């Protein structure tokens, strides 16, 4: 709520005239047409918010570096992303689940602040243009492109909020979710507050934003207005985002169609088996990246040295991971991967070796005494072993995910045989030529796809949401967690979602911190391995 006022005050270039009067819709359109660089700067500012240091909790918190922080938090809450509860692990809270969900939890405040800051920035830009005019056939394609960026990113943020602050969509449509703040109500909300909208209302807004973004981007691209780089959303990316949402909503045919549209509209391709058989996932220009966070050596998250995603994730560079906060795969999941699968080498085996490493890399692993099952999926910056320069780009969407969505959604729409074929074709072509599956029914194919998603998308911030939407238990038995955090959590348990944080309930007049909040859950008890 406090951030809303800041956002409103920060958009003077596009939203007000020099004397401070609010300009008309026509004047806004003229301002955009005459000063497109201002809109471009606004969009660049929105994208830059994906990776900013110390903007929510402050400089003293080394886990506050934008959306990649949320990726580490979310994966840590699941069962496939193993790490230790030690001082160097700034993301141990989601692993233990003791208080990260609490109204005063740092992880909770970080989540809320990170996503809503970006939403407010998107609202500021959207409040400076006439959205409806961008949907018309004769709309300016440049304006369409930039408005679509704000819409797509806002939808992305609300999609994450919706999944973290209420149970999954199906069966919970009427339950309270998060406040919906847009360019239309932002000024009123800053004064009067905003209640929690229902899950269905939030998803309706998300789908409207994405559908409008797709319309605008396809129109702009037809007129040769395209993105300069993969920091920006393309029509293919917007289709991919909508496919993600449709999976959660169980709109199977629609999800399959959007995934196919994303595949057909994307100019790249999945990594080959050969390309996947070595550390990577560090460059936004990689052929399989659809969308990502572009990082420069001069960015503050890099100049901090250790307050960034590679520091907390990377095994082959310098950072928090390299001094004990290693990120490991579930031993049980690792055992399920075929030896012929190129991805088997994304992690060290029980002997601390990986077939994907060079001799120099394997020697580095040995000298550093990196433990078994630790990830070597993510390469160090410029492939320099032990580098303290952690300027890797961060993936937000890869084309491989679209193939997996298409396979799952096709099966769940009623065509299990075709869904299975799509899954097998993808895995055999791009990861493991020996892959096969006995899955036959729609549910079996869905679970087979989920297993591939757990392997393929490991460490990219998507695994926790899969657990929620599939209503699967979190079963940490046999994964390699510390004894105190070997949990078995049933689907729908209150511990799976966060409470509305105190920073919001204290500022928002229409959300009471007790009666309007999610129930206080019970911290899970450890179970026997």
How open is the CA angle 472-477-482, to the nearest 5 degrees? 120
Contact of 519 with 492, CB cutoff 8 Å: no
The alpha-carbon radius of gyration of the chain (Å, integer) is: 22
How many CA atoms within 13 Å lie on the side-chain side of 57? 19
Closest CA to 400 of 240, 212, 511: 240
What residues have CB less than 8 Å from 254, skipping those under 6 apart?
Answer: 242, 243, 246, 409
Helix axes 399-412, 252-265, angle to 10 degrees: 150
Closest CA to 343 of 422, 234, 458: 458
Contact of 489 with 496, CB cutoff 8 Å: yes
Look at residue 278 and give its three-state secondary structure: coil
Task: Output phi, psi for 157, to 5 deg.
Answer: -65, -45
The DSSP 8-state label assigned to residue 286 in this structure reads S
For the chain, give every domain's residue range. 2-268+398-505, 275-387
CA distance 184 to 206: 15
CA distance 419 to 383: 37
Averaged confidence pLDDT in the chain:
93
pLDDT of amino acid 53:
96
CA distance 198 to 195: 10
Look at residue 340 and give its three-state secondary structure: coil
Contact of 131 with 147, CB cutoff 8 Å: yes
pLDDT of amino acid 406:
98
Q: Which residues of the chain have pLDDT under 70?
A: 1-36
**CA-CA-CA-CA torsion for 404, 406, 408, 414, nearest 10 degrees?**
-160
CA distance 31 to 334: 55
From its phi and psi, is residue 461 left (phi > 0), alpha (psi between -120 and 50) or beta?
Answer: left
pLDDT of amino acid 9:
33
Per CATH, the architecture of 2-268+398-505 is what? Alpha Horseshoe (1.25)
Burial tier of 453 (Cβ tally within 10 Å: 0-12, 13-18, 19+): buried
**CA-CA-CA-CA torsion for 510, 212, 29, 45, nearest 10 degrees?**
70
Distances (CA, A) of 69 to 57, 144, 165: 12, 31, 17
What residues have CB less than 8 Å from 307, skipping those under 6 apart?
Answer: 53, 54, 62, 63, 64, 65, 301
């Amino acid at each position: 709520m406090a951030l809303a006022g800041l956002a409103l005050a920060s958009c003077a270039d596009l939203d007000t005239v020099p004397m401070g009067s609010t300009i008309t819709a026509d004047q806004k359109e003229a301002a955009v047409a005459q000063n497109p660089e201002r809109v471009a700067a606004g969009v660049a500012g929105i994208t830059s918010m994906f990776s900013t240091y110390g903007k929510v909790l402050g400089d003293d918190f080394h886990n506050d570096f934008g959306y990649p922080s949320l990726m580490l938090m979310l994966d840590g809450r699941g069962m496939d992303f193993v790490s230790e509860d030690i001082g160097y692990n700034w993301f141990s809270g989601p692993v233990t689940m003791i208080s990260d969900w609490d109204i005063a939890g740092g992880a909770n405040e970080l989540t809320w602040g990170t996503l809503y800051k970006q939403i407010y920035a998107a609202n500021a830009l959207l409040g400076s243009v006439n959205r409806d005019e961008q949907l018309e056939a004769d709309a300016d394609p440049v304006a369409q492109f930039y408005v679509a960026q704000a819409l797509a990113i806002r939808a992305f943020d609300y999609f994450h909020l919706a999944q973290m602050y209420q149970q999954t969509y199906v069966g919970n449509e009427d339950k309270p979710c998060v406040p919906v703040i847009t360019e239309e109500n932002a000024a009123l909300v800053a004064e009067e507050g905003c209640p929690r909208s229902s899950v269905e209302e939030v998803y309706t807004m998300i789908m409207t934003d994405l559908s409008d973004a797709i319309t605008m981007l396809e129109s702009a691209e037809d007129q040769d207005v395209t993105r300069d780089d993969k920091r920006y959303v393309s029509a293919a990316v917007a289709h991919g985002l909508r496919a993600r949402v449709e999976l959660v909503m169980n709109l199977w045919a629609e999800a399959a169609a959007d995934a196919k549209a994303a595949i057909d509209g994307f100019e790249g391709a999945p990594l080959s088996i050969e390309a996947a058989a070595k550390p990577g996932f560090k460059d936004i220009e990689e052929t399989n990246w659809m969308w990502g966070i572009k990082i420069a050596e001069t960015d503050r998250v890099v100049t901090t040295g250790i307050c960034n995603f590679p520091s907390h994730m990377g095994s082959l560079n310098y950072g928090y991971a390299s001094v004990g906060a290693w990120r490991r795969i579930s031993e049980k999941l690792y055992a399920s991967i075929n030896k012929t699968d190129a991805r088997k080498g994304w992690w060290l085996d029980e002997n601390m070796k990986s077939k994907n490493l060079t001799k120099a890399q394997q020697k580095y692993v040995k000298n550093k005494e990196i433990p078994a099952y630790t990830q070597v999926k993510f390469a160090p910056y410029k492939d320099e072993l032990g580098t303290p320069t952690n300027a890797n780009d961060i993936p937000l969407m890869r084309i491989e995910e679209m193939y997996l969505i298409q396979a799952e959604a096709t099966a769940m729409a009623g065509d299990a045989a075709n869904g299975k074929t799509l899954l097998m074709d993808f895995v055999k072509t791009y990861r493991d030529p020996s892959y096969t599956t006995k899955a036959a029914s729609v549910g079996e194919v869905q679970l087979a796809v989920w297993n591939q998603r757990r392997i393929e998308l490991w460490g990219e911030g998507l695994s926790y949401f899969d657990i929620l939407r599939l209503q699967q238990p979190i079963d940490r038995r046999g994964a390699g967690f510390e004894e105190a955090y070997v949990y078995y959590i049933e689907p729908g348990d209150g511990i799976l979602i966060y409470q509305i944080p105190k920073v919001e309930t204290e500022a928002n007049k229409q959300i009471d911190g007790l009666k309007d909040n999610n129930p206080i859950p019970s911290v899970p008890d450890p179970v026997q391995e």
